[in-house]
Amino acid sequence: MAKLNVVGIGPGSLDYVTPAARKTVQNADVVIGAERSLRLFRKDIKGEAVALTAKNVPEILEYAAESVEKGKTVTLLSTGDPGFSGLLRSILKYTRGRDVEVNVVAGVSAIQACAARLCMCWDEMSLFSFHKGTTAEKKAQLSKAVKEGKDIMLLPDPKAFPPREIASFLVKAGLAKETPVFVCERLTLSDERVVESTLERVAALDFDALCVMVIKVNQKQEGEN
């Protein structure tokens, strides 16, 4: 039976693409992804390559579902891991109620890469993603988490809610200006950068759209009781 594979392709570097992801791409009749994602697999794509852009998402995802219904195996490339601010939620909307089997191939997320770079345990941190939109409700949840003393890892909205706006928002919400902040840009790529700063300083800085932000509300060091 033909499947629609949603494949996590990692934070951006070929070094973080799993063998399972490459094998799934190689066996696909149709491979769909952003131009940058397709370039990452240029040696593995043997079937049709379809570019996904911000403007054609609805029609391309519909094409993906229709192709599977016609018996083709389709692979959809999702940056990071499909289940964390990836394409899984979007494609599930197009396949609900249809004769389409969805298979997910896990990938390394930017959140995981960020935690690794900072040598940081993240199993007790609060995770947020503003990639799919910045609402008053989400902001309220973020404010509530920091006021409860929880460390935060989040994906900023590069336009509506970038790191500088997040920092300003949290200071206005009552968090100390000296609160430690880390911003990891372009993780795993050759121009990767990790910035260690404070809320006050980050509120005056600009960062790359590809970044992860960490707010260390809890000052306790890793390994301490």
What band does 176 get if pLDDT is binned at 50, 70 and 90? very high
Level-2 CATH architecture, domain 111-215: 2-Layer Sandwich (3.30)
Q: Is 68 helix (H, G, I), strand (E, B) or coil?
A: helix
Q: What's the pLDDT score for residue 2?
A: 79
Indicate if the pLDDT at residue 1 is higher than 70. Answer: no
Q: What are the tokens at 201?
A: 């300083």
**174: Cβ contacts below 8 Å, ≥ 6 apart:** 147
Comma-separated ranges of CATH 3.30.950.10 domains in the chain: 111-215
C-alpha distance from residue 19 to each of 15, 23, 24, 41, 79 (Å): 10, 6, 9, 12, 15
Q: What's the pLDDT score for residue 132?
A: 79
Bridge partner residues of 182 (DSSP): 196, 214
Q: What's the pLDDT score for residue 225?
A: 47
Indicate if the pLDDT at residue 3 is higher than 70. Answer: yes
Q: Does domain 3-108 have CATH number 3.40.1010.10?
A: yes
